[in-house]
């Protein structure tokens, strides 16, 4: 594969990453924040696949499998904390849950 | 000896920790017994520590292309294991007031230590990523462990979101570097045009994104905002772990990356790191001045300390690695002591930690030895001579001066000057009259004596190393010489 195709693939990954990042920053609902986090991590996974395709080596795919596993673990603990947040404080708004300052 | 067995021998300390984690899982399935779980955790970590020391005569072992066990790795494995053991000792009396399942805490602690050990030995992006996540993911659970207190749950959630974003940045940066060089090993990250060619935009962006993630984990300015909140909300033993093990492992990795990856020889990048270091030490110290919560204060002070450490990356002098090893060892020893006292005063757990400075007013008249230990730790953090903090600071100053980085030398001196104010304030408060509303430190019985012994040992070590630092310096020198490949 030539250099050009990596630019396209990386461009798509960067776009997804940026969308996810914007979502994490502006969303106040923690459920959506977690979803945007997943988008960011998976965008990085896509970037690894693209890079692996350029060098036609399995390293990129191996990293992708690691990323999937870790993203699942993050989602699991994130949802667990989300449930507790809803149960204890009756809110999943990230600003309402925030008390510590300074 | 054949090669496979040699590699297994080299990886023995983390394997022992991993085995004890598996053992803990099995034990918990059969019976819940807190003393047994605690004994297994501490036993496993101690065995790993013995194995680490026993590996010293073996010399560098390359464990698959992913890990390298050299003296540098062994030195930091030792630091990590000692710090984890101290955290376990502080957790025992702290959790005795926690009316829920306490046993899982030790599993999380050991898993996190395993991640830290993997991170220190990593020389490949795969092991870097797995190590960092194995360090971070159990930490989310540990920060939110006392989830019925609002602050703990909030801190856990904040840490999880921000840490996840940092991981995503790290991954994307690694993907860019991999796309540009076709390699995941640190030493093969060579610009496409050859060793001397300029790094292209892909690589600069890649290393920049990785730097964002790692500076977040090290809580350096401008990614420091989470630190005081998470330290305040986290249970005291977990804050101890965050400030010591997590920082040590990530910094050891960052140094290995900068020493072994050719793309980091970039003047622009090094200047950027220097600016981050200067900003961290000034902002960290200035913000610490107006804190009344001791955990927040220590959080800000850790930002400043990591700023001092970062100057060694910019200097790149021959002494740098030795300086980092000495400084990190002294910083970990002192932070363990300071957080340990906070943890002991807050033990047993009763909803909210006694971290406000009023709880420490007149501590000397209630628990004299604890108060004196705390005073020694404060002197050491401030870098007063005859404590080991001074040795560390001396190394940092000599490295920056040897490389002619006068602006960073100035920053370290100004930062230390500001820091004196708040460290001495805490020290003075320990000996003032005790107010009526201060929470009385209680002896919880279970494991309290162990935790106190740990604090006393740390205080004694702080003074001894300050007067006679030769053994530590020799060890660190060996660690510095043999980093490579």
Q: Could you state, in order of their start, the residue ranges of all structural domains in chain B?
A: 3-484
3-state class (DSSP) for residue B68: strand
Query: Helices (DSSP H) in B218-362: which residue ranges?
Result: 226-233, 236-241, 247-260, 267-288, 294-315, 320-346
Name the band, by pLDDT with cuts 50, 70 and 90, for residue B181: confident
Residues of A in contact with B296 (CB under 8 A): 102
Chain A positions in Cβ-Cβ contact with residue B174 (cut-off 8 Å)? 44, 48, 63
Q: Which of A101, A32, A24 is nearest to B154 (CA)?
A: A101
Q: What is the mean pLDDT of chain B?
A: 89
Residues of chain B with a CB closer than 8 angstroms to some CB in chain A:
125-126, 129-130, 133, 137, 140-141, 144, 147-148, 150-151, 153-158, 160-161, 164-165, 167-168, 171-172, 174-176, 178-179, 182, 184, 228-229, 232-233, 291, 296
**Closest-approach residue (CA) in chain A for B300:** A102
For B297, name the nearest residue in chain A, comparing CA atoms only: A102
Distance from CA of B126 to the nearest CA of A (A): 7
A40·B160 Cβ contact <8 A? no
CA-based nearest distance A18→chain B, Å:
11
Question: What is the interface size between A and B, counted as CB pairs within 8 Å?
Answer: 133
Cis peptide before B348 (omega within 30 of 0): yes
Q: Does A20 contact B133 at a Cβ distance shorter than 8 Å?
A: no
Q: Which pLDDT value is given to residue A1?
A: 47
Two tokens at B459?
A: 């205080």
Predicted confidence band of residue B40 (pLDDT cuts 50, 70, 90): very high
Distance from CA of A41 to the nearest CA of B (A): 5
| Interface-testing mutation among B139, B146, B157, with chain A (most A C-beta atoms within 10 A) | B157
Whether B71 contacts B323, CB under 8 Å? no
- List the alpha helices (DSSP H) in B316-432: 320-346, 363-366, 368-382, 388-402, 406-430
Give B164 to chain A, closest Cα distance, Å.
Answer: 7
Does B443 score more than 70 pLDDT? Answer: no
Q: Inter-chain contact B171–A78, Cβ cutoff 8 Å?
A: no
Partners of B122 in the β-ladder: B67
Q: Which of B133, B172, B226 to substitute to test the interface with A, most A CBs within 10 Å?
A: B172
Residue B342 reports pLDDT greater than 60: yes
Q: Please determine, for residue B16, whether its predicted confidence score (pLDDT) is greater than 90.
A: yes
What gap in Å lies between CA B109 and CA B240, rounded to an integer?
Answer: 12
pLDDT of residue B456: 92
Nearest to B150 by CA among A52, A91, A8: A91
Task: Report chain A residues whose CB lies below 8 A from the CB of B151.
Answer: 99-100
- CA B182 to chain A, closest CA, distance in angstroms equals 6
Q: Compute and round to an integer the Cα radius of gyration of chain A.
A: 17
The CA R_g of chain B, rounded to the nearest whole Å, is 21
Selecting from A50, A59, A100 the residue whose C-beta is nearest the C-beta of B154 gives A100
pLDDT band at B183 (very low <50, low <70, confident <90, very high): confident
Nearest-CB residue to A81 (from B130, B160, B168): B160
Percent of chain B exceeding pLDDT 90 equals: 64
CA distance A82 to chain B (A): 8
Q: What is the pLDDT of residue A55?
A: 87
pLDDT in tens, B64-74: 889 999 999 99
Residue B444 has pLDDT above 80, yes or no: no
**Average of pLDDT values for B284-297?**
93
Contacts of A63 in chain B (CB under 8 A): 125-126, 129, 171, 174-175, 178, 184
Residues of B in contact with A57 (CB under 8 A): 182
Nearest CA in chain A to B143: A81
Which whole-number Å values give the CA distances from B480 to B276, B367, B373, in the listed order?
24, 40, 31
Question: What pLDDT sits at residue B191?
Answer: 67
Query: Model's pTM, two decimal places?
Result: 0.94
- Nearest Cβ partner of B156 from A30, A67, A81? A81
Helices (H) and strands (E) in chain B, counts: 20, 2
- The distance in angstroms from the start CA to the end CA of chain B is 23
B92-141 per-position pLDDT tens digit:
989 988 888 889 999 999 999 999 999 999 999 999 999 999 999 999 99
- What is the pLDDT averaged over residues B28-49? 93
Q: Return per-residue pLDDT of chain A as tens, 102 residues.
A: 455 678 889 999 999 999 999 999 998 899 999 999 999 999 999 999 999 988 888 999 999 999 999 999 999 999 999 999 888 888 788 777 676 654
CA distance A94 to chain B (A): 9
Hunting for tokens 């090893």 — which residue is that? Answer: B325
ipTM strictly over 0.90? yes
pLDDT digits (tens, 9 = 90+) for B204-248: 889 899 999 999 999 998 999 999 999 999 999 999 999 999 999
Between the CA of residue B99 and those of A83, B38, B122, B445, what are the distances in Å? Answer: 20, 17, 39, 16
CA distance A32 to A39: 10
The torsion angles phi and psi of B324, rounded to 5 degrees, stand at: -60, -45
pLDDT of residue A91: 79
* Whole-number Å distance between alpha carbons of A101 and B172: 31
pLDDT at B197: 56
Residues of B in contact with A85 (CB under 8 A): 153, 157
Q: B153 and A88 in contact by Cβ < 8 A?
A: yes
Check A100 against B164: CB less than 8 A apart: no
Label residue B378 exposed, middle or buried (CB < 10 Å: 0-12, 13-18, 19+): buried
């Amino acid at each position: 594969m030539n250099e050009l195709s990596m630019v396209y693939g990386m461009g798509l990954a960067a776009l997804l990453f940026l969308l996810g990042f914007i979502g994490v920053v502006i969303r106040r609902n923690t459920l959506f924040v977690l979803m945007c986090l997943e988008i960011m991590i998976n965008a990085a996974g896509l970037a690894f696949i693209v890079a692996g395709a350029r060098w036609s080596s399995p390293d990129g795919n191996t990293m992708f499998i690691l990323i999937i596993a870790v993203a699942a673990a993050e989602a699991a603990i994130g949802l667990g904390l989300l449930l507790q947040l809803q149960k204890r404080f009756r809110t999943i708004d990230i600003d309402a849950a925030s008390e510590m300052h300074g | 000896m054949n090669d496979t067995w040699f590699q297994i021998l080299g990886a023995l300390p983390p394997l022992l920790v991993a085995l004890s984690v598996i053992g803990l899982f099995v034990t918990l399935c059969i019976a819940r017994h807190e003393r047994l779980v605690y004994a297994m955790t501490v036993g496993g970590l101690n065995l790993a520590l013995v194995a680490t020391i026993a590996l010293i005569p073996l010399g560098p072992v390359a464990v698959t292309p992913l890990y390298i066990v050299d003296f540098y790795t062994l030195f930091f494995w030792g630091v990590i294991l000692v710090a984890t053991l101290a955290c376990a000792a502080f957790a025992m009396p702290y959790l005795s007031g926690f009316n829920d399942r306490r046993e899982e805490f030790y599993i999380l602690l050991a898993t996190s230590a395993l991640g830290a050990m993997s991170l220190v030995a990593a020389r490949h992006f795969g092991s870097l990523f797995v190590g960092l996540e194995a360090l971070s993911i159990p930490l989310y659970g540990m920060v939110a462990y006392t989830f019925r207190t609002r602050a703990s749950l909030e801190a856990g959630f904040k840490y999880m979101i921000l840490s996840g974003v940092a991981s995503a940045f790290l991954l994307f940066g690694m993907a860019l570097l991999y796309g540009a060089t076709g390699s995941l090993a640190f030493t093969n990250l060579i610009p496409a045009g050859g060793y001397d060619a300029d790094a292209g935009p892909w690589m600069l962006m890649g290393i920049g994104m990785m730097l964002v993630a790692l500076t977040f984990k090290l809580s350096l300015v401008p990614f420091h905002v989470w630190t005081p909140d998470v330290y305040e909300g986290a249970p005291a033993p977990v804050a101890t772990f965050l400030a010591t093990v997590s920082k040590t492992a990530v910094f050891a990795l960052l140094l290995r990356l900068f020493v072994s990856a050719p793309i980091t020889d970039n003047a622009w990048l090094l200047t950027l790191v220097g600016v981050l270091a200067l900003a961290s030490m000034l902002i960290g110290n200035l913000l610490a001045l107006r804190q009344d919560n001791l955990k927040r204060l220590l959080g800000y002070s850790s930002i400043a300390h990591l700023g001092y450490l970062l100057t060694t990356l910019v200097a790149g002098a021959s002494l740098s690695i030795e300086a980092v090893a000495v400084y990190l060892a002294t910083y970990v020893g002192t932070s363990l002591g300071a957080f340990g006292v906070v943890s002991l005063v807050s033990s047993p757990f009763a909803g909210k930690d006694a971290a406000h400075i009023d709880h420490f007013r007149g501590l000397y008249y209630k628990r004299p030895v604890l108060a004196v230990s705390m005073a020694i730790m404060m002197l050491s953090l401030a870098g007063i001579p005859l404590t080991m903090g001074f040795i560390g600071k001396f190394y940092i100053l000599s490295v920056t001066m040897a490389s002619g980085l006068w602006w960073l030398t100035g920053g370290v001196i100004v930062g230390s000057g500001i820091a004196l104010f708040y460290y001495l304030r805490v020290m003075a408060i320990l000996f003032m009259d005790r107010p009526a509303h201060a929470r009385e430190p209680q002896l919880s019985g279970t494991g309290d004596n162990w935790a106190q012994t740990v604090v006393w040992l740390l205080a004694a070590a702080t003074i001894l190393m300050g007067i006679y630092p030769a053994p530590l310096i020799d060890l660190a020198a060996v660690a510095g010489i043999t980093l490579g490949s």
